[in-house]
Each structure stands twice: as C-alpha cells, then as structure tokens.
Amino acid sequence: MNYVTTKDGAQIYYKDWGTGEPVVFSHGWPLSADAWDVQMLFLLQKGYRVIAHDRRGHGRSSQTALGNEMDTYADDLAAVIDALDLKGATLVGHSTGGGEISHYVGRHGTKRVSKMVLISAVPPLMLKTEANPGGVPKEVFDGIRTNTANDRSQFFKDLALPFYGYNRPNAKVKQGVIDDFWRQGMAGGVLGLYECIKQFSEVDYTPDLKKIDVPTLILQGDDDQIVPLDNSGRKAVEIVKNATLKVYPGASHGMCTTEADKVNADLLAFLQS
C-alpha cells in the first residue's frame, strides 16, 4: 500500500490512480478515502489522475495520540501533495474534507492548486455562536462525542440514516450503503475520530475561505440534515472569490453516494471548464 510519512512519523495512506490532470479528494467524518470510490473510478475512466488519502486517525492511516487537529490534517494533505509533486491539482472536499482543503489553502496557498470543489462542506463554521446564530448548538456535537466514545458501532449505524436521507418518507434505503458507512467508520481509531469532532464543529474556516483565489464550485443538497445549507454553502459562496453554488433539491449530506451520477457529471463539467 502507498504511504507518506509525515514530520511526526505518522503514516498517511493514499490511493493514486491514473495519469493526467490530478484531482485530490478529501473525505468526511468518520469515513476514509473509500468514500470517493465512485467519483474516483468515474474520473479515472475520463482520463484524470485521482488521489485520495485517509486522514490520520481514519481508515488505514496512523492512529496518533497527537495531531488530531486541522493544522496537522492540512499539513498531512500537503505532505501527500508534495510527495507526489502534484501541480495544477483540483482539490475536492466533502464535509470535514471541505474544511481540510480550505485550511490547506490557508496554510499552504494555491501554488499547486488550479480549482477547488466543496461538497456538503462544513465551512465557514458549523457551531452556533453569537456571531453565527444559525449554527448548530454545541449540545448536538457533545452528543456526537458521547456516542462516539461509548457506542460508536451502533452510533455509526444510526447516523447513516440521516447522513444519506434514509430517514425520509419513501426513501429507498440501501443496506449496503449503511454497512459501508459503518465499515469505514469502524476502521478508524476512536481517539482520532473523537478529537476530529471539534475540528469539524468548532473551527472557523472564514479566514481560509478568504484566501481561496482559484475557481471554486460548491455543491450541496437542500435537505442536508448534517451540515445545514443555509449555514454552510450559502455562506461560503459569499466569502470565496469566484465561487459558484449549485443546490441539489432534496439531496442529503451523503449526496456523493445518493446523487453520484449528478455529482460526477458536475465534477467533470467543472474540470473541463
């Protein structure tokens, strides 16, 4: 398997398929690079080079006691991009991964980046504060912490339902999707997953969004029960220069899976633009 070793000795697993223009994917919580398999296979077959890594504490990467925070996540991503000497890459981030690629730009700039895609992404800030009254109350994230610490196996099975909109009337529930969500979540380490909750909920990515200076596509569903559209995509498009927001009617947080054909088509069109 492919690994990059970081400055603190962590091993970051990555997939690297194909040749041509590089597209780098950053996954959501509590998943792994496998969450991007449908998009990666599609774009590989269209002639692109596709790369996706497992965030530390997730998937096949090291389960470290330290570094489970966004500065290090962004530096880990930089380590992969630098090791592969990628140039003109399109960065694609889903949910927490949207925060990761934004913070990557905030810390490392866009010298290796040509475009960005934020999908159901957490920026600018998920947490409800005086300055962000439309955010999610801290009690919700405390509940996620408690469930992750005490019974994450059952919690991941339960969380998959709102994640993919399977709790909606007349939803076509796919047990295989739920099983794969659970599989990816359980592959991670409980410490890294627990500490990552703060990173997707309490970090304010507004300064990072302001530093994005490449064309940016924002995709999100208006039935996202995990990251509310009005507090994320609709705000991010007002902050990022040269950004476009496309809203998917009725789509869930897990739209890369439930709306894969539409997402793939929009990614390809953006890459070719």
pLDDT given for residue 51 in this prediction = 98
pLDDT given for residue 23 in this prediction = 99
Q: Does 193 have pLDDT greater than 90?
A: yes
Q: Which pLDDT tens digit goes with each residue over 218-251?
A: 999 999 999 999 999 999 999 999 999 999 999 9
The answer to whether the CB of 164 falls within 8 A of the CB of 28 is no
Mean pLDDT of 113-132: 97
pLDDT given for residue 191 in this prediction = 98
Q: How far is CA 99 from CA 1, 26, 269, in A?
A: 26, 9, 23
pLDDT given for residue 272 in this prediction = 98
Beta-strand relationship, 11-17 and 49-53: antiparallel
Q: Which of 53, 58, 103, 253 is catalytic?
A: 253
Mean pLDDT of 90-101: 98
Q: Does 1 have pLDDT greater than 90?
A: no
Q: Which pLDDT tens digit goes with each residue over 12-36?
A: 999 999 999 999 999 999 999 999 9
Q: Which of 32, 61, 95, 102 is catalytic?
A: 95
Read off the pLDDT band of 136 (50, 70, 90): very high
Mean pLDDT of 252-262: 98
**Annotated catalytic residue 253:** yes
38, two tokens: 């449908």
**Annotated catalytic residue 58:** no
Q: Which pLDDT tens digit goes with each residue over 63-75?
A: 999 999 999 999 9
What per-residue string of b and e applies to 142-156 under the rule 16 or more CB within 10 Å gives b? eebeeebeeebeebb
Mean pLDDT of 69-98: 98
Q: Please, what is the average pLDDT of the chain?
A: 98
Domain range annotation of the chain: 2-272
Region of 263 (left: φ > 0; alpha: ψ -120 to 50; beta: rest) is alpha
Read off the pLDDT band of 96 (50, 70, 90): very high
Which value, to the nearest 10 degrees, does the dihedral of the CA atoms of residues 260, 264, 270, 273 take?
-150
Q: Which of 62, 224, 232, 252 is catalytic?
A: 224
pTM recorded for the entire structure: 0.98
CATH topology of domain 2-272: Rossmann fold (3.40.50)
Mean pLDDT of 139-152: 98
